[in-house]
Amino acid sequence: METNSNSHSRRHFIKNVAALGAGVVATSANQAVAAPANILSEDRKGVLVDTTVCIGCRNCEWACKKSHDKESGNIEEYSDRSVFKQFRRPSAATYTVVNEFSNPKNPALPINVKVQCMHCDRPACVSACIVGALSKYEDGSTIWDPVKCIGCRYCMVACSFQIPTFDYNKAIEPNINKCDFCNERRKAGKLPACVDICPVEALVFGTRSEIIKIAREKIQRNPERYINHIYGENEVSGTSWVYLAGRNFYELGFPKLGFKHAPGVSEAIQHGIFAYFVPPVMFYSLLGTMMWIYKRREEFNKEAELAEELELQSEPESEVEEL
């Protein structure tokens, strides 16, 4: 009797939880849960990089190192163009690099492309980080937190642009290195270091909506100069840094990416499996019910067996008696 009442209450509980879960799922649409609030704020900042204007002076590289207290050396050394022979990526030593590509229209005017973190609207690194060391902020920036990071380097694998880098040379407390959109400088009311130093203003800092408007207008006014594509406007559902170019972006070292945000699939699976804890609850409740049914059946069987045994026991006795 006691076991019966217990199983009864459990069944009720499972029923209630299932109903509650279904209700929650029905009321809220299937939104990405890991995204912080209001990351698509209208005021979020961005930078427009006009690669047709960039002259490849690499002053941005120097300014970036300088403002992040990295070994920067003398600015005059940066006019050395022999570094362009190799395609470079941001590293632990520098958060931004400039690469050079040939210009089919005029070999004397090569195309220079600055590379740094794109500060995606839906960053894959933030989604991949298991301890929340990378966060997306309302001002458009994606920033790494050295206190929380455990150095798993999942962000490096997740990033569509291969931006975060690891201090492989440092044995103790190696860092993840990535452009932080000059967080400190912007807090002080200054422009990011690279934007500030650019001699030709190839980098324009402003609200993302405004710089995209400027980019569109530039394409409209100079259809011969620019291709009709703003890289980062829609790529991986938008990035804070957007680019203009006179040559196909995929020939300029930019990855060919879809318009869906990178963490989309993984987050959908993850959040699908654990959506508001309903699927696990359902799963375990199913298991529980099955176990309960099985157990009950076992009990019934046992009772039946017991009864049979009892009957069997009584019968031979009678036989014996008869005998």
Q: Cα-atom radius of gyration of the chain, to the nearest Å?
A: 31
Long-range contacts formed by 221-230: CB under 8 A, 24+ apart: 225/52, 226/52
| Minimum distance, C-beta of residue 209 to another protein, in the bound complex (Å) | 8
Interacting stretch for another protein, rule CB under 8 A, among 15-23, 151-159, 169-177, 315-323? 15-23
| Residue pointed to by tokens 């929340």 | 132
Q: Is there binding between residue 199 and another protein (CB under 8 A)? A: yes
Question: How far, CA to CA in Å, does 77 sit from each of 53, 111, 151?
Answer: 21, 20, 33
| Backbone φ, ψ for residue 143 (5° rounding) | -125, 140
- As given in the structure block, the two tokens for residue 63 are 């300014």
- As given in the structure block, the two tokens for residue 4 are 């019966």
3-state secondary structure at position 45:
strand
Cβ–Cβ < 8 Å for 226, 214: no
The residue from 22, 109, 131, 273 that contacts another protein (CB under 8 A) is 109
- CA–centroid distance for 45 within its chain: 18
Interacting stretch for another protein, rule CB under 8 A, among 106-114, 139-147, 291-299, 300-308? 106-114
Task: Burial-class residue 183 by CB neighbours within 10 Å (0-12, 13-18, 19+).
Answer: middle
Nearer to another protein, 176 or 212 (CB): 212
The residue from 18, 152, 281, 282 that contacts another protein (CB under 8 A) is 281
Q: Is there binding between residue 201 and another protein (CB under 8 A)? A: yes
Interacting stretch for another protein, rule CB under 8 A, among 26-34, 142-150, 160-168, 177-185? 26-34
| Minimum distance, C-beta of residue 177 to another protein, in the bound complex (Å) | 26
Q: Is there binding between residue 238 and another protein (CB under 8 A)? A: yes
Residues of span 44-103 touching another protein by CB under 8 A: 53, 55-58, 75-76, 79, 81
Cβ–Cβ < 8 Å for 182, 192: yes
Interacting stretch for another protein, rule CB under 8 A, among 24-32, 141-149, 167-175, 292-300? 24-32
Q: Is there binding between residue 17 and another protein (CB under 8 A)? A: yes
Q: Is there binding between residue 22 and another protein (CB under 8 A)? A: no
Q: How many CA atoms lie within 13 A of 304 on its CB side?
A: 6
* Sites of contact with another protein (CB under 8 A): 6, 10, 13, 17, 20-21, 24, 28-29, 31-33, 35-42, 53, 55-58, 75-76, 79, 81, 104-109, 191, 195-196, 198-201, 204-206, 210-211, 214, 216-217, 219-221, 223, 228, 233-234, 238, 275-277, 281
